[in-house]
Structure 1
Amino acid sequence: MNPLETYNNALTRRQFFRKSGTGLGMAAMASLIGERGLAAGESMGNMTIPQFAPKAKRAIYISLIGAPSQFETFDYKPDLEKRYQENLKDFLAKEGQRLTGMTSGQASFPLAPSRYKFSQHGKSGTWVSELLPWHGKMVDDICVVKSMHTDAINHEPANQLLCTGSMIAGKASIGSWLSYGLGSMNEDLPSFVVLHAKHSSPFANVQAISSRLWGSGYLPGKYSGVALRSLGDPVLFLKDNPGVPREMRRKMLDGLGKLNQKSYDAVGDPEIQTRMQQYEMAFRMQSSVPELADLSGESEHTYELYGAESKTRGSFANSALMARRLLERGVRFVQIFHRGWDQHANLPRDIESQCKDVDQACYGLIQDLKQRGMLEDTLVIWGGEFGRTVYSQGVLTETNYGRDHHPRCFSMWMAGGGIKGGQVYGETDELSFNITENPVHVRDLHATILHALGMDHERLTYKFQGLDQRLTGVEPAKVVMDLFA
């Protein structure tokens, strides 16, 4: 007899009643929420409904890979002008600051003030750099968090920590956790979609990223993010082969499904079910994706809102517009990756073009969501994996400088989904080197995102290798309730 079958047949009396009770509960739940609700999440043990009333039911995460400098965006430090080129070598030694290999051998660490002007905006009077004029127009819609901090000082582990909650590969991404915890709101598109936006600067230092950042790790494969391509068909093999009508494709899938079901009945591998579901999703996406990618029905007003680049496939503006369309169609989580923010040298040249890439499009996205009544239940997160140093990497001149990695403090913003707009949370010291008020660790950010979507980060778990795995891991994490209205 098959070992799995032997094990399943060896039920104790206690196990029999527990399984029976669960089955009756599932039957009752099915009668209340219907087949589509159960299809979304497969099992009530998978937390397929919010654990408490959510403030948001979907989210967009704008991941700025490479880490934008807080000095040139939201963390205004006007007094640094007086300390231009001051050597911080002794200060760094006193702080015991860990340095990357790119600056550890420098003889001098010259203090580099931002060369960009800041001004206050909105009713909140939030300070914003001149590089982000459109952000200045929406500061009362967003909450700027200046006191983020992380454990990693290099890109790969920092991005893994930000996207999966761990610097160790193989963990489930935040989008996969949300898909697992909340299920899908549609049958024709994945619940977690990834978009890769082009960067504008031809000189940008572009960090390599991989599917680990949107993979499902130890969670079932169906919860992985699905990346839509910016060139060609959004999904490979979107069209049926010539001479293969849809009716034939349907029959082929039905036959394949029966064979896969026999394999599942024999060995009980849940990944067989995942593959069956992926085949069915791919079949439905052949109809849903072309409609999604057809932007001809969008008004000129919408294009003007996001900016001229919104008509160019693969641009950040186009990706932001696509994100809104995906949410409208029931996608639970959209992650936009925008690379090119790693500015160790020639920072002014590169950050100007990078900010221009995202500035108006982010404004357009927030305003578009507001106009459609979607912002109140859509959480938007914006930011990179760590901050940048107050000192210049390499030679410092009046017009040119670079900044190294700095994990102790950096800035992000959040909007919608119950977040209180028009506030600045947290503060840093005069060098934006250490946090002085309200620190927010990456794990706290994860706990807060889950809370906004109705999930308790300590209760959203998955059994793997004998442990109840969590997005926030075993280290302390807290929900930052002050961010909510």
Structure 2
Amino acid sequence: MSIDLTNLTRRSFFGQSADRLAAVGLGAAALAALDQQTGYAAPADGATLAQRSGGLPALPHHEPKAKRAIYLFMSGAPSQIDMWDHKPQMGEWFDKDLPDSIRQGQRLTTMTSGQARFPIAPSIYKFAPQGAAGTMVSELLPHTATKVDEIALVKSMYTEAINHDPAITYICTGNQLPGKASLGSWLSYGLGTENENLPAFLVMTASWTGRKEAQALYNRLWGSGFLPSKYQGVALRSSGDPVLYLSNPDGLDAKVRRRMLDSLSRLNRQTAQTVGDPETVARIAQYEMAFRMQTSVPDLTDISDEPQYILDMYGPDVTKPGTFANCCLLSRRMAERGVRFTQIFHRGWDQHANLPGDLPNQCRDVDQPCAALLTDLRQRGMFDDTLVVWGGEFGRTIYCQGKLTKETYGRDHHPKCFSIWLAGAGIQGGAVHGETDDFSYNVTKDPVHIRDLNATILHLMGIDHSRFTYPFQGLDQKLTGVEECSLISPILA
């Protein structure tokens, strides 16, 4: 296939970068692949093209533990002190000020920086040892507590971001500033999909019953950034069409739409052959995916074929579209169908006030469905090759924001330590990694940065984070950035 470089636009010329122009741009290679109706070169792991469509031929770098991943994201920052990081000695510190030796001049948000005092607010919830290792778990999580022998709890996570938007952008895309590719987009770009009729990366935003106000979620959290737009996450809706414009308009049947797409594809191919812009090729692929999704997505979201015992396992909310329980069941259905990466955002974890009134509701939303998802994956033989991650963007303070009583308190943002857990493929069940001080304020052992978490997720998917790059703005971009990071090796099986 020849491309007339004289018609290459200035924007296309600089957008493709020198190394891609050497091969007449990424668009030429992608267009040739589309012509073959197969995707790309055969994957390095030996899977056939029928098993895997798209992805880079050099990936995976090593034998993957996980074929797919499900990320349960608790947006707003769940309180580690009330759920996972047991600090019984804080009962003696009720309403005493946080010592300066513990705070160490740490930056605070404007919501508490003007407080005259920083009174300690011990958790009012009981903890009990669970599982073979006696992992301490809050009474707020009775169902998840039964799964501690299957999960690895990391109590020493930390980040530099102290406000929600940069913090959630940081952990989802590897940078506090918008414009970078999300974790799911990286995986979609690198590993492709096992089902050509569904996107490699699907996103759901679940309803919540805690604090009514919640931080906004922007589509950059599942966006493709500098990667071609075909790798961005596809968000499913809880009402109407699962994906916008999935249904044909009145008077337009599937045959007419097919003819329309064929004509549009011919025009786009002519543009791609002339200009070599990868986004033109991405647009062709997205139109074709949308056409196939008209059949595959309704089948995916219709849970009427699920047996009653499965529905009961996920809890009473599972049949209500948009609930966390419903999203968890759909995530299992997505995993079964070869979706590479599923991300569920559950909002409402930002308890600056009335934490005892809101946090139990949040935990009820997610506790039983999380445990059910792990059980469901295991009984279907998918647990050992599916990675499940649970966590938020940062933690919460031991000191109270606002008025403190023995019955109620609020907590501010706390980036210096928080808890997450992982389960499934390649994870050492029952492991507890990292420690914090008596105030759950500073990490005292085995600190884990969010870059380390992302590097570990990539590793379990068969990718060496240091070798997984994309050229953009004169830099080989990486999900984990240019700073030092390492795998969370002690939690790996």
TM-score (norm 1): 0.92
* Cα-to-partner distance string for 1:150-198 (whole Å, 9 max, x where unaligned): 0111101100111001001100000001111111111100000000100
**Structure 1 395/297 Cα, relative in aligned 2: closer, same or farther at 3 Å?**
same
Q: Measure, in 1, the Cα distance between the counterparts of 2:378 and 2:41.
A: 34
* Cα-to-partner distance string for 1:279-331 (whole Å, 9 max, x where unaligned): 00000000111111111000110011110100111000000000000111110
Q: When you count helix as a share of all residues, which structure comes out higher?
A: 1
State the match for 1:175 in structure 2. Answer: 184
In structure 1, the gaps of 5 or more residues are none
1:40 paired residue among 31, 54, 61: 54
Q: Measure, in 1, the Cα distance between the counterparts of 2:52 and 2:418.
A: 41
State the match for 1:228 in structure 2. Answer: 236
TM-superposed CA distance for 1:80, in Å, is: 0.6
State the match for 2:118 in structure 1. Answer: 109
**Structure 1 38/229 Cα, relative in aligned 2: closer, same or farther at 3 Å?**
closer
Q: Measure, in 2, the Cα distance between the counterparts of 1:414 and 1:30.
A: 30
Q: Measure, in 2, the Cα distance between the counterparts of 1:89 and 1:429.
A: 12
* Cα-to-partner distance string for 1:40-95 (whole Å, 9 max, x where unaligned): 23x53xx4x311000101000011010000111010000110111111264466x0
Q: Measure, in 1, the Cα distance between the counterparts of 2:167 and 2:137.
A: 25
**Structure 1 37/150 Cα, relative in aligned 2: closer, same or farther at 3 Å?**
same
The answer to whether the Cα contact below 8 Å between 1:447 and 1:479 also exists between their aligned partners in 2 is yes
Q: Measure, in 2, the Cα distance between the counterparts of 1:382 and 1:478.
A: 20
State the match for 1:156 in structure 2. Answer: 165
State the match for 1:429 in structure 2. Answer: 437
**Structure 2 matches for 1:345-384, cutoff 5 A?**
345-384=353-392
The answer to whether the Cα contact below 8 Å between 1:205 and 1:343 also exists between their aligned partners in 2 is no
1:119 paired residue among 128, 139, 143: 128
State the match for 1:57 in structure 2. Answer: 67
State the match for 2:81 in structure 1. Answer: 71
State the match for 1:401 in structure 2. Answer: 409
Q: Measure, in 1, the Cα distance between the counterparts of 2:47 and 2:382.
A: 24
State the match for 2:428 in structure 1. Answer: 420
The answer to whether the Cα contact below 8 Å between 1:4 and 1:268 also exists between their aligned partners in 2 is no
Q: Measure, in 1, the Cα distance between the counterparts of 2:471 and 2:361.
A: 45
State the match for 1:88 in structure 2. Answer: 98
Q: Does 1:312 align with 2:315?
A: no
The answer to whether the Cα contact below 8 Å between 2:201 and 2:234 also exists between their aligned partners in 1 is yes
Q: Does 1:133 align with 2:139?
A: no
State the match for 1:270 in structure 2. Answer: 278
**Structure 1 38/76 Cα, relative in aligned 2: closer, same or farther at 3 Å?**
closer
The answer to whether the Cα contact below 8 Å between 2:102 and 2:442 also exists between their aligned partners in 1 is no
| Aligned amino acid, residue 177 of structure 2 | I
Q: Measure, in 2, the Cα distance between the counterparts of 1:35 and 1:114.
A: 53
Q: Measure, in 2, the Cα distance between the counterparts of 1:344 and 1:246.
A: 51
| Aligned amino acid, residue 411 of structure 1 | S
**Structure 1 268/158 Cα, relative in aligned 2: closer, same or farther at 3 Å?**
same
RMSD of aligned Cα (Å)? 2.3
Report the secondary structure of 1:357's partner residue.
helix
**Structure 1 89/120 Cα, relative in aligned 2: closer, same or farther at 3 Å?**
closer
* Cα-to-partner distance string for 1:126-164 (whole Å, 9 max, x where unaligned): 100000000111110111100000011110110011100
Q: Measure, in 1, the Cα distance between the counterparts of 2:111 and 2:48.
A: 57
State the match for 1:388 in structure 2. Answer: 396
Q: Measure, in 1, the Cα distance between the counterparts of 2:236 and 2:301.
A: 10
Report the secondary structure of 1:107's partner residue.
coil
| Percent of aligned pairs with the same amino acid | 55
Q: Measure, in 1, the Cα distance between the counterparts of 2:305 and 2:77.
A: 35
The answer to whether the Cα contact below 8 Å between 1:457 and 1:471 also exists between their aligned partners in 2 is yes
TM-superposed CA distance for 1:245, in Å, is: 2.3
The answer to whether the Cα contact below 8 Å between 1:205 and 1:341 also exists between their aligned partners in 2 is no
State the match for 1:456 in structure 2. Answer: 464
Q: Measure, in 2, the Cα distance between the counterparts of 1:392 and 1:423.
A: 30
| Aligned amino acid, residue 381 of structure 2 | G
